[in-house]
Amino acid sequence: MPATKDESKNGLWRYQKVVYHPVTGERIVLRKRGFSSKKEAEIAEAVAISEIIGYKGESKLPFEDVIQEYLKYKSKRVNLRTLEKLERLFDGFIIPAVKGKDMVKFSNRDATKFYDQLLEHTESSNYRNKIIEKIKSLYIFAEMQYDLSTNPVRAFKKFKAKKQKRVFQVYSMQEFEQFISTFSEENDYELSIKVFFTILYWAGVRRGECKALKWNDIDFEMDTIRIDEQFIDKDPNEGRVCTDVKTENSLRTIYIDKLTMELLNKLYSLRNDSNTYSKDSYIFLRRDLSNPFADTMIENRNKLHAKKSGIKRIRVHDFRHSFASLNYSLGVDPKTISTQMGHSNLTITLDTYVNLFDDKVKERVDIIDKIRGKNKN
């Protein structure tokens, strides 16, 4: 019988099929329930049949169908930006490489050919490793969802990536004060732009996290801000999207210095006096208070005020790097910096700021040399 709705399970699908063993002639009843869609049930049924009678005839488990179900599965578990990156990896290499092929029939020779194609496609170890990670994840998904028993990509080894030191520019405290001094406080809109860049620098938050701040995220008594949402790039169907922060560690409460809190409090008072305040409203709004800041405005203001201040211009994301650099130079340990910045683990912080930490190690060695030199004399 074809895949049907399971009456005992709300909205789920099942399959049931009678087959006969090609050698013994034994009658075998195949059944399984709990599938979220008819397509899932049909694919699982095809795999179960192929395990018993052998795979013959037309494709029963096309890569394209499994990828479609896999992306649907991931869409409920990752944020939009992560999903878009995942789709780009599949569209950019995996789907063209396995187009028209079947997962049940995909042999070790096919897997070797896939691997060779990947080598020819790019020399980037990072990109190669992402592809390997995703094709392995796809097979694990097929094993769980459709009881697929073959996995010719299991032996794929990741490439050793050459660690490249990231190069980025930062503002010292003096440079930032010179930069921020060119901003106006003549009205709540101009003041809000000044506050925005101030928080980027002194709190180390991501641009999207700062744009998503609401007044109820600010605790004026404890001098803290809560980070639990972020604005991400435009979605073609939904426009600008506000969603949960990137990872569990990105969900955090940050202590803010007194001067920054005073600026926030001044903006709050202006909004409150003009009856444009609501605890559920976003803090950083366009001039007409309709929507949060546009990225183009943020970029333009960054360029404008760097020019006004007469100092180098850094990227908007480099304000976050400046926070890390400043705190480390003040003696804050990497773990605390990592927690404040909302990195998913300490390794990300160490890898991102390897130059910073290397310089500190060299500084330590120089100090030891001076001490030992003095003792020797």
For residue 64, how many other CB atoms are within 10 A of its CB? 15
Q: Is residue 368 part of a domain?
A: no
Cα 127 from Cα 138, distance rounded (Å): 17
Query: Taking residues 155-178, what's their average pLDDT?
Result: 83
Digit-coded pLDDT (tens) for 76-106: 888 887 888 999 999 999 999 999 999 988 9
Domain that holds residue 47: 1-54
- The domain total for the chain is 3
Residues 306 and 274 in one domain: yes
- CATH, residue 67: 1.10.150.130
State which of 54, 75, 92 marks the end of a domain: 54
Residues 137 and 177 in one domain: no
Q: Which of 286, 316, 285 is nearest to 300 (CA)?
A: 316
Beta carbons of 29 and 49 less than 8 angstroms apart: no
Residues 212 and 68 in one domain: no
Cα 246 from Cα 79, distance rounded (Å): 7
Residues 157 and 183 in one domain: no
Q: In the 3-class helix/strand/coil scheme, how is 195-253 assigned residue by residue?
A: HHHHHHHHHCCCHHHHHCCEHHHEECCCCEEEECEEEEEEECCCEEEEEECCCHHHCEE
Q: Is residue 196 part of a domain?
A: yes
Residues 72 and 40 in one domain: no
Residues 47 and 121 in one domain: no
Residues 237 and 306 in one domain: yes
Residues 233 and 335 in one domain: yes
Residues 196 and 121 in one domain: no
Digit-coded pLDDT (tens) for 13-65: 888 888 776 555 677 888 888 888 888 888 888 777 777 665 443 447 899 99
- CATH, residue 189: 1.10.443.10
> Six-digit token pair at 204?
């180390």
Q: Is residue 369 part of a domain?
A: no
The pTM score is 0.59
Residues 95 and 157 in one domain: yes
For residue 60, how many other CB atoms are within 10 A of its CB? 19
User: What is the C-alpha R_g of the chain?
Assistant: 28
Q: Is residue 376 part of a domain?
A: no
Digit-coded pLDDT (tens) for 267-276: 999 988 877 7
Beta carbons of 303 and 295 less than 8 angstroms apart: no
Residues 343 and 244 in one domain: yes
Residues 252 and 108 in one domain: no
319-322, Cβ contacts within 8 angstroms, sequence gap of 24 or more: 319/171, 319/197, 319/200, 319/201, 320/200, 320/204, 320/205, 320/206, 321/168, 321/169, 321/170, 321/352, 321/353, 322/170, 322/171, 322/176, 322/201
